[in-house]
Structure 1
């Protein structure tokens, strides 16, 4: 009897420790691969390098630079140009990605729809293609010498389509992101649609509502949280644009080494050996991404509270 009583505190102690043991691997991975690099980048952004000893044989040492790196980054005209390119790209990519994802999700949710499994797979497959591979595939479709679209256009007497020239380059890059991102966002929205009780649809149909009215007045308002989530994902993806313009860069003279902020970060870190400047720009981009996401959430919550009141 005494042994049983003694084992009870041990079992309770193990049960209390169990959640922490299960969470520990995720916490360790987060700290090692997320928190530590973020803190190191923030610390590095306040440093700079200078030569001591004079001459070519001087030793490069790291010194505290304060806000000099941030002032240099924010005053760089290439940064404003890069964010301008991001803005034009985002205006095209984000609305079309969300709009097509919502449209496909609504079409798949129609009771009369056929071949739903095949359609879901066909729409989702582009998301499984790596971004670099997708950019290469579309790049060859954009090149005047290999593009089937330009070939048809020339045969019709319309000339070559300027996919890789200004301003068509923005639509070309946005098309790659849309092609790869619609499937992922569609799955999120479609899953949200499947969570709506069927009784709501049945009541609407009994009142004489058609599928279009049900979609506009019931389905879309109820999947707003999913739309907000996919919208934030799309915004973050737009701010992190890198692989598509970098892959297309050898195919056109329009894209420079600083075409978007992430390309500028890569140039500073690996081409000009300016790690503190790259770290400062990384911090600026990260803070901007968090600020945009927080602003979207705040506007959404404010709109929901206004609608409820």
Structure 2
């Protein structure tokens, strides 16, 4: 009996160590597969953030050269001076105001359009779902810079078929007018990202159990009631994700105003904070250099995070009521 017990215990120990060895090999295999992504993630995401934070505490200053300048540029530690410049600059806050207004107007329109398209595709109205889904998503596959170039051409009053067509109807529109610039940029972003957000909503709709639909129809619910009582409540988490991504993306508005500036020189170099950061790093704004530009980018990242957090908290409070 004792010998049998010892053999069983030994077998258990052997089996346990075997399972432990297999688990270790599986873990090593998993880490090996993840290593390329982890290395690239650190190189292209983590290290640039660390460098931006580090450089934000320095500013390029000239040394020597006498009364007429000509000295060598060196990086000098200035502490929080670059951040003070960013948060006290009227141009910076004017740009922040523009992108916040842009976000308040553009994001809700885009999210509502994306949800409507997803609801239509998920219904029985559309027959060839794949074609519609690909057609709506296709603008997102076009690089943002290319999409902006296309729309700058379509906004150009001298060559645009849209402007000429409206003019033939007696409607004169200047898409580069000061009171139309944000709307023109919002149109580009909405055209580009509505299909992307539609896929987020469509995935959430297709994850809803069909038993709920069958139970609702048995209870006599019509299509409108199914959409409003079952589908919409079940896409709240997807709506939160889409809104958060859109807020963070819109607050970093850059491609559209930068490329529209090529056709409208009246757009200032600090029209948005990201444009201000780029032109500061190029030295076309004073103070110039990587330090002030990094400080502007970090402040904008904090603002985007705060806005996203506020929206998430408000959304949670509304859902709890």
If the length of structure 1 is used for normalisation, what is the TM-score?
A: 0.91
Partner of 2:315: 300
Alignment of 1:28-67 (within 5 A): 28-55=39-66, 56-67=69-80
For 1:109 and 1:186, locate their aligned partners in 2 and report how far apart those are by CA, in whole Å: 11
SS at match of 2:127: coil
Question: Greater CA deviation, 235-244 or 147-156?
Answer: 147-156
1:290 aligns with 2:299: no
How has the CA–CA distance of structure 1 residues 152 and 212 changed in structure 2, closer, same or farther, with 3 Å as cutoff?
A: same
For 1:11 and 1:107, locate their aligned partners in 2 and report how far apart those are by CA, in whole Å: 49
For 1:89 and 1:33, locate their aligned partners in 2 and report how far apart those are by CA, in whole Å: 29
Partner of 1:205: 217
Partner of 1:110: 123
Q: Which residue of the other structure, out of 163, 174, 195, is the alignment partner of 1:183?
A: 195
Larger radius of gyration: 2
1:76-122 per-residue CA deviation (whole Å, 9 max, x = no partner) reads 11111111111221122101110000000001111242121111111
SS at match of 1:125: helix
1:236 aligns with 2:248: yes
Shift of 1:199: 1.0
Question: Greater CA deviation, 179-188 or 270-279?
Answer: 270-279
SS at match of 1:196: coil
Shift of 1:57: 4.3
1:222 aligns with 2:234: yes
Shift of 1:291: 1.9
Alignment of 1:63-74 (within 5 A): 63-74=76-87
Shift of 1:136: 1.5
Shift of 1:40: 1.1
How has the CA–CA distance of structure 1 residues 219 and 50 changed in structure 2, closer, same or farther, with 3 Å as cutoff?
A: same
Aligned-CA RMSD value: 2.2
1:152-198 per-residue CA deviation (whole Å, 9 max, x = no partner) reads 3322333x212110211111110010001010000110111001011
Shift of 1:137: 1.4
For 2:247 and 2:295, locate their aligned partners in 1 and report how far apart those are by CA, in whole Å: 21
Partner of 1:27: 38
1:3-33 per-residue CA deviation (whole Å, 9 max, x = no partner) reads xx69947545433433333333322222222
Unaligned runs of 5+ in 2: 1-13
Shift of 1:64: 1.4
Contact 1:46/1:69 (8 A) holds in 2: yes
Contact 1:124/1:183 (8 A) holds in 2: yes
How has the CA–CA distance of structure 1 residues 16 and 186 changed in structure 2, closer, same or farther, with 3 Å as cutoff?
A: closer
Contact 1:162/1:168 (8 A) holds in 2: yes
Contact 1:164/1:254 (8 A) holds in 2: no
Shift of 1:35: 1.4
1:30-89 per-residue CA deviation (whole Å, 9 max, x = no partner) reads 222211111111111111222333423423222211111111111111111111111221
1:75 aligns with 2:88: yes
SS at match of 1:250: coil
For 1:153 and 1:171, locate their aligned partners in 2 and report how far apart those are by CA, in whole Å: 17
The number of equivalent residue pairs is: 303
1:264 aligns with 2:279: no
How has the CA–CA distance of structure 1 residues 154 and 128 changed in structure 2, closer, same or farther, with 3 Å as cutoff?
A: same
Contact 1:165/1:254 (8 A) holds in 2: no
Unaligned runs of 5+ in 1: none
